[in-house]
Homo-oligomer: A and B are copies of this chain.
Amino acid sequence: MTLTVAWIAVDWGTSNMRCWGIDAHGAILASATSDKGMGRLTPQQFPEALRETIAAFPLPANPVDVLICGMAGARQGWREAPYLEAPADLRGLAAAAVRPDMDDQGLQPLILPGICQKQGGENVMRGEETQLLGLATLLPDYSGLVCMPGTHSKWALLRGTHIEHFTTAMTGEMFDVLKTHTVLRHSLTGELDGPARAEGFAAGAADGLERPQDLLGQLFRVRAAALLSGRQPDWCAGYLSGLLIGTEIAANRHQIGNEPVPLIGSASLCALYVKVLEMAGAKGRPVDATEVVLAGLKAARQFRS
């Protein structure tokens, strides 16, 4: 007897998508990735992108569910999945999911909603809510801040499966635009990963932690340090990265307790956040991002009423 997938889990982001074929026992039978992220697709192109990506999956004769989280549910995505409003119990994600059009009887797609926040600071997330549900199943006793570093870092206050409050820091995107489009680019052209990067990172993180209210002023130090002290591009890149992450962590420091902060993101970025959290007298605990999103999609399916 050939094994076939019982359902398909999909993390559909802006720049790429990842699919996993799951068997009846929750094991991964197949996986595939594609660069057909939401940003490259019109609504009509989603069904074909999905079919293409899972073409090699062993499908059964009967229709299978395809559970999708992320930007496929944005207004400019496949079909808009209206936000759940925080505070919210993430076990309710699947109950609020929407069915996009799919001209294929064998696949039954379902897009999970994102979370919005209207009180205490307007905010939105899409995709991270599923990772948070996954984290809540992996660390069922955790209560506190969760940090998800990236282009737009999310900081969420999680109590079990409940998301209480969250914020978004544009840290990663700021690094990119400052490096590419501002006067700082003159100090950031050349070898950015040289030996002085770590030293610059530590100096920037210290400045950001010490005076987060002065980010607009401290940024210019990247330029001044190159002009006055002959700092090389690797030091300057480290300084800018450290300054931004230090500033971000300082703004959240008052909400961090003694327990390590779970960090969900790329391993290299999480390692930097661990360093700066330690400089701030706190602790970080990297969690594998793929494991977390898969756990979240499984949990969402399981809690579907």
Query: Which chain A residues have a beta carbon within 8 Å of chain B's beta carbons?
Result: 75, 116-118, 121-124, 152, 155, 167-171, 173-174, 177-178, 180-183, 211-217, 219-221, 223-225, 227-229, 244, 247-248, 250-251
B177 touches A251 (CB 8 A): no
With A169-B217, A216-B247 already in contact, 12 other A-B pairs whose C-beta atoms are closer than 8 Å: A122-B228, A124-B223, A167-B220, A168-B217, A170-B216, A177-B181, A213-B213, A213-B247, A215-B216, A215-B247, A216-B244, A216-B251
Output the residue of A122, A171, A216 with the most chain B CB within 10 A.
A216
B121, B174, B177, B247: which contacts A221 (Cβ < 8 A)? B121
A223 contacts which chain B residues (CB < 8 A)? 124
Tell me which residues across on chain B come within 8 A of A123, comparing CB atoms: 220-221, 224
A174: chain B residues at CB < 8 Å are: 182, 216
Q: Majority SS of interface residues in chain A?
A: helix
Nearest to A76 among chain B residues (CB) is B186
Q: Once the chains are docked, how many angstroms separate the CA of A182 from the CA of B146? A: 25
Q: Is the CB of B122 within 8 A of A152?
A: no
Collect the chain B residues with CB atoms within 8 Å of residue A75's CB.
227
- Chain B proximity of A183: nearest CB distance (Å): 7
Pairs of residues from A and B, 9 with the lowest C-beta to C-beta distance, nearest first = A212-B213, A122-B224, A169-B216, A168-B220, A213-B213, A214-B251, A167-B217, A177-B181, A177-B177
Contact B181 A224 (CB under 8 A): no
A248 interface neighbour in B216, B227, B228, Cβ under 8 Å = B216
Residues in chain B near residue A224, CB distance under 8 A: 116-117, 121-124, 168
Q: Within the assembled complex, what's the spacing in Å between the Cα atoms of A251 and B211?
A: 9
Q: Are A221 and B122 in contact (CB under 8 A)?
A: yes
Which residues of chain B come closer than 8 Å to A251, judged between CB atoms?
Answer: 211, 213-214, 216-217
C-alpha gap A248/B216 in the complex (Å): 7
Can you give 29 contacting A-B residue pairs, CB < 8 Å?
Answer: A116-B227, A117-B224, A118-B228, A121-B224, A122-B224, A122-B228, A122-B229, A123-B220, A123-B224, A124-B224, A124-B228, A152-B183, A167-B214, A167-B217, A167-B220, A168-B220, A173-B183, A174-B216, A181-B181, A211-B251, A212-B212, A212-B213, A213-B213, A213-B247, A213-B250, A215-B247, A216-B247, A216-B248, A217-B251
Cα–Cα, bound, A215→B182 (Å):
18
Chain B contacts for A216, CB-based, 8 A? 169-171, 174, 215, 244, 247-248, 251
Question: If A124-B228, A213-B251 touch, does A173 touch B169 (CB 8 Å cutoff)?
Answer: no
Contact A182 B177 (CB under 8 A): yes
Which chain B residue has the least Cβ–Cβ distance from A186?
B76
- Closest Cβ of chain B to A282, distance in Å, is 16
